[in-house]
A and B are shown apart, each in its own frame.
Chain A
Amino acid sequence: MKVLVINSGSSSLKYQLYDMRDESVLAKGLVERIGMDSSILNHKPTGGQEVTEVKEILEHNTAIRKVLSMLTDPEHGVIKSIDEIQAVGHRVVHGGESFKASALVDDPAKTEIRRLFDLAPLHNPAAMMGITATENNMPGVPQVVVFDTAFHQAMPEKAYLYGIPKVLYNKYKVRRYGFHGTSHEYVSHIAAEFLGQAIEDLKIITCHIGNGGSLTAVQGGHSIDTSMGMTPLEGLMMGTRSGDLDPAIVPFVMNKEELTVNEVNSMLNKHSGLLAISGISSDMREITDGMANGDANCTLAFEMYEYRLRKYIGSYAAAMNGVDVIVFTAGVGENSVVVREKVCENLTYLGVEIDDALNAIRSGEPRLISTSQSKVKVLVIPTNEELVIARDTYRIVSELK
């Protein structure tokens, strides 16, 4: 069975085509900077020539159309016809309490995903556009949705409830859901495998830091706490999201600036974080470049980002009464040598000791970056949410037949 995995984010669209007989990747690619005039479509057929196209792609709809035509392209494609794709798996950010595991896309599932738009305003609509565009282009092909929130459904009540009137939980399910679950689950398992230890015996803090970012305390293979909350806005300071802040700031600013609910939501989700503090960019690469050039705002943005990240590691060590492994993953976690270095530099009280030479290595493989004396193993593990999605999709669609 060939399975297409679509990970439709707020400004990017990743795809991978799997042959599930051997879980091999036939092709993968990424559409970046959707919504800007210089969008980049990067397509890599396995064993073939990498292709990059730069053009204006303003919407996810167009992005998916481009991906499908690239997959069937006579020169760069890997299949003759779209019909060869027998199932499509989508990453969906928010599954609420309704989805504790992956699910087949049918009308009730779509209704439920739409109902959850309010909770993930940047992400669920993008995923839904992907589902709709897939339906239009590949009618009759079964689709599966895999949720970012599912892994965190194991969290205990004391971690997922907020200290506000409980009626709000009963009425509207206001609670912590957490995100990037597929990634936190995957990298924590790979970490145990890599170290040759049983995951049941490990206390792992997984740092999934990309444009959005979250930390999870994984104890015995289960998520016991995570930094994102009811929406992906809570927790770390991110590319364009504020992360934690005093909730009283929201009504205060709304009143002073006469903002509507939409405006204040947009302010916190799209105009805050690294972008707001640096005044330049939401991209960590540009922030660290700016810092290297002595830009004061970039330096401040970096320091705030690192400081907040480090505080979360400390709090999860406290939550689990210790930590055996710290894992860095996702865009920033896998690639930013300086973020990892600065965070670990001030974790010596936990017994963290990083090996600078190992930390500087760039590779696509799971790797250890702490010294042999370090009490805590620090790992960099490239995440592979797509593989998890492909496996779930394959399993659910096979059960149908």
Chain B
Amino acid sequence: MLFKKIGVIGGGTMGQGIAEMLAAKGIEVLLVEKSVEKLNYSYQMIETSLDKQLEKWGITQAEKKLILSRIQKVVHFAELGSCDMVIETISEDIEAKKLIFSQLDQVCPNNIILASNTSTLSLTELASTTMYPERVIGMHFIYPVGKVDLVEIIRGLKTSDITFLETKRFVEEIVNKKGIMIYESPGFVSSRLICLLINEALHILQEGVASAEDIDDAMRIGYQFQNGPLEMADRFGLDSVLAALERMFREFGELKYRPSTILKKMVRAGHLGVKTGEGFFKYDKDGDRV
């Protein structure tokens, strides 16, 4: 497979990041959203992200234009028939994802890999709605997609060897990121470890052991994390962290995954982190700490 044209379903944070990163690598991208309005918004966000890179001298005007020219806006699934791979990036809702996979299964030729960027859901379950479950695989990119060079490649029960090998080749040779192989399990490797760290940081905060600032400094400076666990949670979105923890709590049934009550409280109050401007810290509209 040549991987020259790739469909990206969903224009949220991850969809934008993946579409932009693929286009920057010279790949044609078909970006799919439900409506023209949502599509235009996602495209505009990609443009903003490129402008930020331009400001930091990371790219030139010509490069920005070239990257944008490779992203095509699409609202109908039928157009995905010509893609060499499709990556689904919608929100973590198993029913909605199942619907998308059953539709993709009909549109895309049966040798085309259908990947999901899910961070916690079961690939085996997603694949169960398709006629060709062997071509369904998990490809979990980590935010920010352009800067983190790791992809978790998750094999469902029926994912074929050829699907895995082609996905790994795509990740390592075309996208130039490290691909690690994971057998399906809730939270895979990265989400399981990082959500536990965040949850423990929340317990520490709740018990009044240390301030949010100091907890983050402990890990950032002491253990060379780029961001501390609380800022990380703000950047992922507190609702996403909560959903991931709840899912692992349900699946494993172990108390260590039980979300801290302060997390629930924050989500109920609508303080979701960077995207709402406030979480454990405050942020401006460019996502920088205030």
Contacts and interface: CB of A to CB of B under 8 A. Distances in A.
Given A11-B62, A267-B57, 8 more contacts: A35-B65, A36-B62, A36-B65, A263-B56, A266-B59, A266-B60, A267-B56, A270-B57
A59 interface: yes
Contacts of A35: 60, 62-63, 65-66
A271 B62 CA distance: 12
Contacts of B58: 259-260, 262-263, 266
A271 B66 contact: no
Nearest to B53: A263
11 contacts: A11-B62, A35-B63, A35-B65, A36-B65, A58-B69, A260-B147, A263-B56, A264-B57, A267-B56, A270-B60, A271-B60
Contacts of B65: 35-37, 58
Chain B contact residues (Cβ within 8 angstroms of A): what range? Answer: 10 to 19
A238 to B, nearest CB: 15
Interface in B118-147: 147
B27 to A, nearest CB: 13
Contacts of A270: 57, 60
A58 B62 CA distance: 8
A271 B57 contact: yes
A264 B53 CA distance: 11
B66 A58 contact: yes
Contact of A259 (B56, B60, B147): B56
Contacts of A36: 62, 65
Contacts, number: 36
Contacts of B53: 263
Interface string A258-292: 01101110110011000000000000000000000
Interface string B41-71: 0000000000001001111101101100100
A399 interface: no
A365 interface: no
B97 to A, nearest CB: 33
A287 B239 CA distance: 54
A35 B59 CA distance: 13
Interface in A24-60: 35-37, 58-59
Contacts of B147: 260
A134 B187 CA distance: 47
Contacts of B66: 35, 58-59
Contacts of A267: 56-57
Interface string B152-192: 00000000000000000000000000000000000000000
Nearest to A268: B57
A246 interface: no
A22 interface: no
Contacts of B59: 266
A339 B267 CA distance: 65
A203 to B, nearest CB: 39
Contacts of A257: 56
Listed residue (B62, B63, B65, B147) with the most chain A CB atoms within 10 angstroms of its CB: B62
A268 to B, nearest CB: 8
A271 B59 CA distance: 9
Listed residue (B53, B58, B66, B147) with the most chain A CB atoms within 10 angstroms of its CB: B58
A269 to B, nearest CB: 9
Contacts of B57: 259, 263-264, 266-267, 270-271
A59 B60 CA distance: 14
A263 B63 CA distance: 13
Contacts of A37: 65
Contacts of A264: 57
A268 B59 CA distance: 11
Contacts of A266: 57-60
A258 B58 CA distance: 12
B91 to A, nearest CB: 29
A37 B62 CA distance: 9
B287 to A, nearest CB: 13
Interface in A329-363: none
Nearest to A258: B56
A266 B56 CA distance: 9
Contacts of A260: 58, 147
A262 B59 CA distance: 9
Contacts of B60: 35, 266, 270-271
Interface in A224-272: 257, 259-260, 262-264, 266-267, 270-271
Interface string A54-75: 0000110000000000000000
A131 to B, nearest CB: 16
A278 B60 CA distance: 17
A300 to B, nearest CB: 20
A185 B63 CA distance: 34
Contacts of A271: 57, 60
A36 B65 CA distance: 8
Nearest to A257: B56
